[in-house]
Structure 1
Amino acid sequence: MSGTPSGEPDTGVPEPNRVSRRGLFGLLGSGAVGLAVGGAGGAALATAAGAGNPGGSSSGAVPFRGAHQAGIVTPAQDRLHFASFQLLRGVDRAALIELLSDWTVAAEALTRGAELGAGGAASGPPLAPPSDTGEALGLGAAKLTLTFGFGRSLFETKDGEDRFGLAERLPAEFTELPAFAFDLLDSATTGGDLCIQACADDPQVAVHAIRNLSRIAMGRARIAWSQLGFGRTSSTSQSQDTPRNLFGFKDGTANVMAEDREGLAEHIWVPESHPQEWLRGGSYLVARKIAMTIETWDRASLSEQERIVGRTKGEGGPLSGGAEFDAPNFEAVSTAGGPAIATDAHVRLAHPEQNGGARMLRRGYNYVDGSNPLGQLGAGLFFISFQKDPATFVRVQQSLKADSMNEYLRHVGSGLWAIPRGISPGEYVGQALFTKSA
């Protein structure tokens, strides 16, 4: 049962296996719904939302519930649709819980490849909008994962306002990311109250998920900004080959992998000793939109590109010698007499040895947002990392101030979200945040 900060039960909040009236209106594609509408009423659509997709396949489904949220150590899928949401003015604590409950019902169905609502995309009343947009019909689950995060502004605004009675649940380490060297952040692609990371092996399945979750949020939250990604730039499982970024180099060779349980416990999952019970078993997500000056990079020589990265472009091995997964030797000397791996090479400055052993789980994607009138690609890396403490990312990013790769990069978007622990049966996303601590 959910509760207020004092532990008293909340009122007007739907049970986790029910879609609220506002969520129902969103599913039906209604117009703007007044915030006064709501309450605990609403049809029980858990069964309807989980109805099978007759044109699709149940294969390729990733379990939505578990000790940790899916989409973190899940083997990285090929496609991404990332969305940051802003809660609307007038939304209170009960409406926020109601939204998370509605999202939970829908997310569990979406990750099974099921249609939403009693009528789905094509079987509802002919004079009413379909309850599912339908563009994912026949595509199955496509290994869709939906990962939900809470921004710092959910707990306390920049003006110090505690909108939802959550300030006492704000983790001590959850501070805004500082300004980094060479940041050119656009406020239109920075921050957000909530985030949803949708990853799938089919781009239309990922887009369908965000589209429908946004409809369900109508009257309570809107998408502040979003990003499509293709071509994962990191592996999260030893079963996956290391992919390449748009500079043509293998990326994320030293990533924390799903099979490394000790590494995950040490670096990625918030420990059970954390004072905030709702965050135990969760993590922190950092997202950075990094524009690459592709045309300038393409004019650099192969030897210069390799010097900047610190690895060979073909094999991906460190310039100190060896194959891709061999540890870099930062003491090695080149035939010319200098360090084999330059002192300002990306590999050196980002390596755990140079950052007090700090490690992250990287889960980024390439992106191309068209081109400008000069014919230059609006392309780059949508960097995503998970770590148990935001200070890990801050330390590594500050180390990269001297990175020679900065000549070819522009950080134009940014965000930090706390990722609650996994969703147990009968719970909604982040339910422990709204209940009395154990």
Structure 2
Amino acid sequence: MTTGRGDVAMGEHGDQATRGTQAERGGRMSRRKLFGLGAAGVAAVGAGAVATRSLLEEPVAQAASTSDPVPFYGEHQAGIVTPAQDRLHFVAFDVITDKRAELVELLQEWTAAAARLTQGKDAGTFGAVGGSPEAAPDDTGEALGLPASGLTLTIGFGPSLFDDRFGLKAKRPAALADLPKFPGEQLVPEISGGDICVQACAHDPQVAVHAIRNLARIGFGKVSVKWSQLGFGRTSSTSRAQATPRNLMGFKDGTNNMKLEDAQLLRDHLWAAGDDWMAGGTYMVTRKIRMTIETWDRTSLSEQEAIFGRDKGAGAPLGRKAEFDTPDFNATGPDGQPYIKADAHVRLAHPSHNGNAHLLRRGYNYVDGSDGLGRLDAGLFFIAYQRDPRTAFVPVQTNLAKHDALNEYIKHVSSGLFACPPGVRDAGDYWGRALFA
């Protein structure tokens, strides 16, 4: 989604005029060490991260540079409020075993592999070259010599996992209610839904692809890939340390996104509360939104800005001067008409027009080649986290789907909904353990 902040089809969440931007942090890439922390050492790193979080009230899982690792263990999963990395490999799996014990075993194996991969290590004990020459390697090897690159792996469970196969039906959260059908969407079932998703984010695309490839390899015979998506050029900032990026329509995207520094907003609108297995978790919505790039590129600048309700260059709300200025929806121009029209994206997506609904957006641009007519198959892979989609994503998207002028240039072709459990506490824990207790 885009706001003149540029949230293509889902924007303007958490208006805070005082936010500033800083240059994004970078760092020289060091060679990946082929040795690393043992389970006890990684657990110690996790314990330190948890202690730091308790002082700051909210997790600030981040690397010092783009080559460094992000802590894996903690109260919440990394890859949510972690400063958004540059690259994405997202995958949705279907579970093909009907044995609960095998699913639990897979989650344990995946967690152990994820703990290693996110720290810049190989997926298995013997790695890509250290095992028996007669056996398949424990790691596929394409990330040998590469640093951790800020890799995070975030898991979620789809509504379809809570059927009769694994005895989980009674544990399906109310907030994991199926999304309604929105006006105008053209969803393709083959690239929607899924029993389990894994979001891999990193600053190096090869590191992200390597992680997903190895999880799929470990899951052979228990899960199958339903669909996947590569993304580049993040379309939102999740930290004030990050500059605001642009989407493929050329507008700044994510200006007023919730940030990891917004402790109160995160408590109120991001993390699930209560005493069930989702406490400390959150809910993820994904939407693949294709843009009609060629039509958009022939649209006048004034019309583009009117559609978003923002200046294309500076990102300021129309009628204001700076990107982080609060939109004034009542301000009128010399002609007596509102600067920000009734069908402008920034107005329709703003919390003040959606019952104070807030999302933490974490989307990416995508280009999947071209179609048979020579048009770019490109757009936004939208990802948003929230405490409850019924009171956050659903009302905002309903408003946009009915009224947004941007709808002439976009179409939703894929959708996903997932319950993301809380973080893994230590080396004895695993993804979703409380769900299967």
TM class by shorter chain equals 0.7 to 0.9
Per mean C-alpha deviation after superposition, the further-off stretch among 106-115 and 162-171 is 162-171
Contact 2:66 2:150 in 1 (8 A): no
How far 1:47 moved relative to its partner? 6.2
Report sequence identity in percent: 60
Alignment correspondent of 2:435: 433
Alignment correspondent of 2:408: 407
Given the two structures, how large is their TM-score scaled by the length of structure 1? 0.83
How far 1:122 moved relative to its partner? 1.9
Contact 2:308 2:344 in 1 (8 A): yes
Alignment correspondent of 2:106: 99
Distance 1:397 1:131 in 2: 43
How far 1:123 moved relative to its partner? 2.5
How far 1:336 moved relative to its partner? 2.2
Distance 1:58 1:208 in 2: 17
Contact 2:329 2:347 in 1 (8 A): yes
Residue 84 of structure 2 aligns with an amino acid whose one-letter code is A
Distance 2:100 2:334 in 1: 64
Alignment correspondent of 2:420: 419
How far 1:410 moved relative to its partner? 0.7
- For 1:218, which of 217, 220, 223 is the aligned residue? 220
Whether 2:150 is the aligned partner of 1:137: answer: no
Distance 2:121 2:175 in 1: 38
Residue 302 of structure 2 aligns with an amino acid whose one-letter code is S
Structure 2 counterpart SS, 1:411: strand
Would the alpha carbon gap of residues 338 and 430 (structure 1) be closer, same or farther in structure 2, given more than 3 Å must change?
same
Structure 2 counterpart SS, 1:327: coil
Contact 2:66 2:149 in 1 (8 A): no
Residue 399 of structure 1 aligns with an amino acid whose one-letter code is N
How far 1:115 moved relative to its partner? 1.2
Unaligned runs of 5+ in 2: 1-37, 43-64
Alignment correspondent of 1:245: 247
Distance 1:347 1:121 in 2: 49
Residue 384 of structure 2 aligns with an amino acid whose one-letter code is S
Per mean C-alpha deviation after superposition, the further-off stretch among 316-325 and 193-202 is 316-325
Contact 1:285 1:384 in 2 (8 A): yes
Distance 1:210 1:110 in 2: 10
Contact 1:58 1:140 in 2 (8 A): no
The Cα offsets for residues 76-100 of structure 1, whole Å up to 9 and x where unpaired, read as 0000000000000x42211111110
Alignment correspondent of 2:302: 303
The Cα offsets for residues 229-285 of structure 1, whole Å up to 9 and x where unpaired, read as 0000000000000000000000111100000000000100012xx25x210010000
Alignment correspondent of 1:108: 115
Contact 2:271 2:280 in 1 (8 A): yes
How far 1:126 moved relative to its partner? 1.9
Residue 424 of structure 2 aligns with an amino acid whose one-letter code is I
Contact 1:330 1:348 in 2 (8 A): yes
Contact 1:320 1:330 in 2 (8 A): no
How far 1:58 moved relative to its partner? 11
Residue 85 of structure 1 aligns with an amino acid whose one-letter code is F
The Cα offsets for residues 375-433 of structure 1, whole Å up to 9 and x where unpaired, read as 21000000000000011100000010200000000100000000101111110101011
Distance 1:174 1:213 in 2: 25
Distance 1:427 1:396 in 2: 36
The Cα offsets for residues 94-122 of structure 1, whole Å up to 9 and x where unpaired, read as 11111100100100000011013233112
Alignment correspondent of 1:394: 394
- Structure with bigger gyration radius: 1
Distance 1:92 1:119 in 2: 28
Contact 2:66 2:203 in 1 (8 A): no
Residue 408 of structure 2 aligns with an amino acid whose one-letter code is E
Contact 1:365 1:382 in 2 (8 A): yes
Distance 2:372 2:355 in 1: 44
Residue 351 of structure 2 aligns with an amino acid whose one-letter code is P
Alignment correspondent of 2:93: 85
Residue 349 of structure 1 aligns with an amino acid whose one-letter code is L
**Bigger relative contact order (CA 8 A; separation at least 6):** 2
Alignment correspondent of 1:340: 339
Distance 2:263 2:100 in 1: 36
Contact 1:104 1:428 in 2 (8 A): yes
Alignment correspondent of 1:124: 131
Whether 2:68 is the aligned partner of 1:60: answer: yes
Alignment correspondent of 2:358: 359
Alignment correspondent of 1:318: 317
Distance 2:196 2:253 in 1: 28
Structure 1 counterpart SS, 2:93: strand
Distance 2:105 2:135 in 1: 24
Residue 193 of structure 1 aligns with an amino acid whose one-letter code is D
Alignment correspondent of 2:47: none
Residue 130 of structure 2 aligns with an amino acid whose one-letter code is S
Which stretches of structure 1, 4 residues or longer, exceed 4 Å deviation after superposition?
none
Structure 1 counterpart SS, 2:236: coil
Given the two structures, how large is their TM-score scaled by the length of structure 2? 0.84
Would the alpha carbon gap of residues 344 and 268 (structure 1) be closer, same or farther in structure 2, given more than 3 Å must change?
same
Unaligned runs of 5+ in 1: 1-45, 51-56, 157-161
